[in-house]
Amino acid sequence: MEKSAKSKKRLQTAKELPLIIAEYYQECHEAKSKGKPVGWMPPMNGAIELFYAMDLQPVFPENWSPVCAAFGLTRQNFEVSEGMGYSRDLCGYLRNIIGYVHGMMGEEGNPLGGLPEPDLMLPPNGGCAPVMKIFQALLRRFPAAKAFKGDIPQVAIENISRYHVDYAVSEMKRLIAFLEEATGRRLDMDRLRETVILSDRACELWDEIMAFRRYIPTPISASEIGIMFVMVTRQGTQIAVDYLTRVRDELKERAEGGTGVIENEKVRLFWDNIPLWYNMGLFNYFEKMGGVVVAETYSAAWSLRLDVSNPLEAIAMKTLISYPLVSCVSIRKRKEMVLKACREYSIDGAILHRNKSCVPITLGQMDIKRELEAQGVPSLIIDADHMDERNFSVAQFQTRADAFMEMLLARKGLL
Ligand code: SF4
């Protein structure tokens, strides 16, 4: 498939990211070789803080899928999973990771050394059906891994009550007991508190970073949103805090100095749904007509402050909220979030990525479109897929994007 121009890295701090990614995977392999227990888990889950506090190694198979997309390995992985009978209509993360663990994993030449095998597995008993199925399939592939099957209620954020939180805390205590027994390591509550403080600081910095995108012109576009890698893999560590501090400082300087992503920013765009991980340069396509993608649904997932005075409840709350915040959010809440973002980031138009292989996040998009139009924000639906480039046509995208941009420019009297 023809690709858009490569994603431009304008921020100096974004150029540090490949090294940060490489160091994380190197750390995962070192952990494995030194006998430190490696646990596979879903992202945005309070287990990451427990792992770092107990000196265990967290690994995120979902996050490995964008890495495979960036290295152009998805087609190979899809062939394996499709050969096993997994339909092309299923989530791209699911098809990629299942293809990977049954295919090239462990072979020579894996980028970043590939994924180390899990000693522990934390399948979520919540979230979307694909994410639950991913871990069921991984458990079958790695039967020797010790598994903790959590039982976190799936509740819309606005309906979370005290008893949900209490139950999630009791599940966290059960998880701690499991980890202590499985690894022979004890959780030090002071260490957990330090980890939660670092985690919360990372969230605070994330919010500050996002706030600088409200500046006109914006100092960072969606094409550099890969910086969220540290939120996925390094939350609860000084590494995340130090990196995000450097990103925040660079953005502050750019924003306050009036340095934008492009010289003449004319149109500010919102992106709904997951990016196309195999084609992040697509975000830059609008720039030739003065358009910049300044906000997106996905990055909001990390705007979650933690109550550092009660670390156990903080990580329970994070686990409880993680899926409702992105994939299992109610349509009413999703509409509110998109409209709020459009107001806060002075959005002129929204791109709604109708994601063929992520039904949960695509659900409700027509309602969002109607609501946006009622509020005077035009929108465009783009058919694509966050992982599978076979479900995306660059030519069709360009034709529709050009027409949309012309309409937005005409509306602002800039054409
Ligand atoms: S939310 Fe979407 S992309 Fe994420 S696991 Fe579920 S179906 Fe896949």
CB 383 within 8 A of CB 354: yes
pLDDT of residue 66: 94
Residue 128 token pair: 């979307």
**Cα(128) to centroid(ligand 1), Å:** 6
**Cα(124) to centroid(ligand 1), Å:** 13
Site of tokens 């894996």: 110
Paired residues of 58 in beta bridges: 39
Instruction: Sketch out the chain's domains with CATH numbers.
Output: 34-188 (3.40.50.11890)
Ligand 1: which of 131, 273, 323, 353 to mutate, most ligand atoms within 8 Å of CB?
131
pLDDT of residue 147: 97
pLDDT of residue 299: 85
Task: Write the residue with the smallest CA distance to atom 7 of ligand 1.
Answer: 358
Ligand 1: which of 93, 356, 385 to mutate, most ligand atoms within 8 Å of CB?
93
pLDDT of residue 328: 66
Other beta carbons within 10 angstroms of residue 65's beta carbon come to 26
Radius of gyration of the chain (CA): 21
Measured in degrees and rounded to the nearest 5, phi and psi for residue 285 equal -60, -35
Q: How many CA atoms lie within 13 A of 66 on its CB side?
A: 17
pTM of the model: 0.94
**Cα(87) to centroid(ligand 1), Å:** 15
**Cα(257) to centroid(ligand 1), Å:** 39
Stretches where the chain sits below pLDDT 70 are 1-9, 323-328
Other beta carbons within 10 angstroms of residue 414's beta carbon come to 12
Distance, C-alpha 367 to centroid of its chain: 23
**Cα(305) to centroid(ligand 1), Å:** 23
Task: Write the residue with the smallest CA distance to atom 5 of ligand 1.
Answer: 131
Site of tokens 């670092």: 198
- Give residue ranges with CB within 6 A of ligand 1: 91, 93, 128, 130-131, 327, 358, 360-361
**What is the spatial distance between Cα 195 and Cα 201, in angstroms, rounded to a whole number?**
10
pLDDT of residue 325: 65
Which atom of ligand 1 is found nearest the CA of 387?
3
pLDDT of residue 5: 57
E strand spans, 254-407: 267-272, 291-296, 349-355, 379-384
Ligand 1: which of 94, 136, 274, 361 to mutate, most ligand atoms within 8 Å of CB?
361
Pairing of strands 146-147, 120-121: parallel
